[in-house]
Amino acid sequence: MEFTGARAPATRDMSQPFVGSSLALTDAGVSSAAAGMEVPVHEIWAVIAVETPGCGFFHDRRPQILYERHVFHTLTRGRFDDGDISDPRPGGYGRRGAHQYARLSQAMEVSRAAALRSASWGLGQILGKNCEMAGFADVDAFVRAMSHSEDAQLAAVARFITSAGLDKALRTHDWVTFARRYNGPAYARNRYDERLDDEYRRYVVDGVPDLRVRAAQLYLRYLGFKPGPVDGVVGPSTHAAVLAYQTREGLPTTGVVDDTLIAMITPA
């Protein structure tokens, strides 16, 4: 995604590349984004659901990214074209997850700044090349924000949407206008506008995720458990993962996401 927002939090010394605090969304973060855009939360969740599998981090705590070889080609004027990490044609993405970071790492070897600007990051898949639009000093500050928390990622999305004048389109459900300007001219091929409407209606009917449950799911993933999708719903997989963690730690095996569990599994 080629748009962005929000300023970086204080610099954090990351022990691993691209791993910061990796914190889950909070009520305060969602409320702040909604207030800043004057958009209800259902619309915000629709954008998140369409842009990512509802989660801003991979299992290994690195931000969700998608490496865009055609952006790298443009930024480096085709000097490193190889059909893989640099090519004038979009596509060639390959597998999600670690593979995207492998491609990013290859690109960073020849042009670090261009590589970071050529990946889309976090919940809203904001393209790094637009970091200055959001008020970041540079792409490194942007990446630190993306690595810090989903709240920072969502704040970035909200900042861009407002500054680009897309908050009205989101608020009035003008999905075509929003999709064209947020996703690009190929939005119809991806059914981006239709998917936004579908997700919006789903959240209106089913309600938005329980953020405490969702945080537990994300943090249990980090610890190697398998709670199922990070969706804020306690299904069988989440219940089993909570029980497994409680058993391992010698806690009462309730299967319930409570304050004790959250305190123990939240990343330091």
Token pair 């994300």 is at which residue? 218
In the chain, the amino acid numbered 84 is D
* Residue range 67-106, pLDDT digits in tens: 999 999 999 999 999 999 999 999 999 999 999 999 999 9
Whether the CB-CB separation of 63 and 156 falls below 8 Å is answered with no
* Region 142-170 average pLDDT: 93
Please say if the pLDDT value at position 109 is more than 80.
yes
This prediction has a pTM of 0.90
Structure tokens at 35: 């207030």
| Res 234: pLDDT | 96
| Of residues 228, 163, 201, 168, the one with CA closest to residue 50 | 201
| Of residues 246, 195, 203, 198, the one with CA closest to residue 44 | 203
Strand partners for 67: 119
Whole-number Cα distances in Å, 80 to 65, 89, 104, 154: 21, 14, 13, 33
DSSP state of 248: H
| Res 7: pLDDT | 36
Between CA 237 and CA 230 the distance in angstroms is 11
Diameter over CA atoms, the chain: 59
* Residue range 160-187, pLDDT digits in tens: 898 889 999 999 999 999 999 999 889 9
Edge-to-edge strand order for the sheet containing 119-121? Answer: 65-67, 119-121, 126-127
Between CA 82 and CA 268 the distance in angstroms is 41
* Region 29-46 average pLDDT: 96
* Residue range 6-32, pLDDT digits in tens: 333 333 344 468 999 999 999 999 999
Q: How confident is the model at residue 45 (pLDDT cuts 50, 70, 90)?
A: very high
| Res 11: pLDDT | 38
